[in-house]
Structures are given as C-alpha cells and as structure tokens.
Amino acid sequence: MQKVIITVVGKDTVGIIAKVCTYLADHGINILDISQTIVGGYFNMMMVTDPEKSTTPTGQMADELSRLGSEMGLSIRVMNEDIFNAMHRI
C-alpha cells in the first residue's frame, strides 16, 4: 500500500485538524495515524494517510490542500511516504 504523508506547519489556531480531516473525508482518504507537536510556538502535525480509495489524484490533492493551508496561514504539504523512508531508513 502506497501511503501519503501530510504535514501541516504554522501558527496554532482553532480548527486546523478539523478542516484538514473534513477535506480528507470528503475525498475518500483514510487517515491511518496522526501525531502533532508544538515546536517553538509552531504547530506541527503529521498525518499518515491511505489514498487507495481517494477520489482525487495525489498531485491535485497536494494543490488543494496547499491552498486550504494558505487560507489558514499554514503550510500544508502532501508527500509520498517513500521520500521519508528513503531519507531516514536504511
């Protein structure tokens, strides 16, 4: 299964997770894991998702989530899990 990792970085505000989750639910993307932390006052969230039943291609999802992020003053990135595995796992 090809997983997609969504990272969200920015100033903490109410409803960040809600908005991202709503988008994912609307597009048939299953969330497998969520972790979050605050580093230096900045909200950092990582979601591991399964796009198998997604109604939207990953490239388009990346654009739409990035737009959604900028509306909230956040940086949202959608990246194939392989890039993290390549970099951090031997």
Partner 1 sequence: MINILEAKETVDMIARENLDVRTITMGISLLDCIDSDLDRLCSNIYDKITSRAADLVRTGEEISKEYGIPIVHKRISVTPIGLVGASACRTPEDFVKIAETLDRAAKTVGVNFLGGFSAIVSKGMTPAEENLIRSIPRALAETEFVCSSVNVGSTKTGIDMDAIRLLGDIILQTAELTKEQDSLGCAKLVVFCNAPDDNPFMAGAFHGVTEGDTVINVGVSGPGVVKTALQAVRGESFEVLCETIKKTAFKVTRVGQLVAREASQRLGVPFGIVDLSLAPTPAIGDSVADILQEIGVDYAGAPGTTAALALLNDQVKKGGVMASSYVGGLSGAFIPVSEDQGMIDAVNAGALSVEKLEAMTCVCSVGLDMIAVPGDTRASTISGIIADEMAIGMVNQKTTAVRLIPVIGKGVGDTVEFGGLLGYAPIMPVSRFGCERLISRKGRIPAPIHSFKN
Binding residues vs partner 1 (CB under 8 A): 5, 7, 9, 33, 35-37, 39, 44-46, 48, 58-59, 62-63, 75, 77-89
| Smallest separation, CB 48 to partner 1 (Å) | 7
| Smallest separation, CB 78 to partner 1 (Å) | 6
**44: amino acid identity, one letter:** N
The rounded distance, in Å, linking the Cα atoms of 26 and 84 is 26
The rounded distance, in Å, linking the Cα atoms of 7 and 43 is 10
User: What sign does the CA torsion over 25, 26, 30, 34 have?
Assistant: negative
In whole angstroms, how far apart are CA 29 and each of 2, 10, 24?
Answer: 12, 23, 5
| Smallest separation, CB 21 to partner 1 (Å) | 17
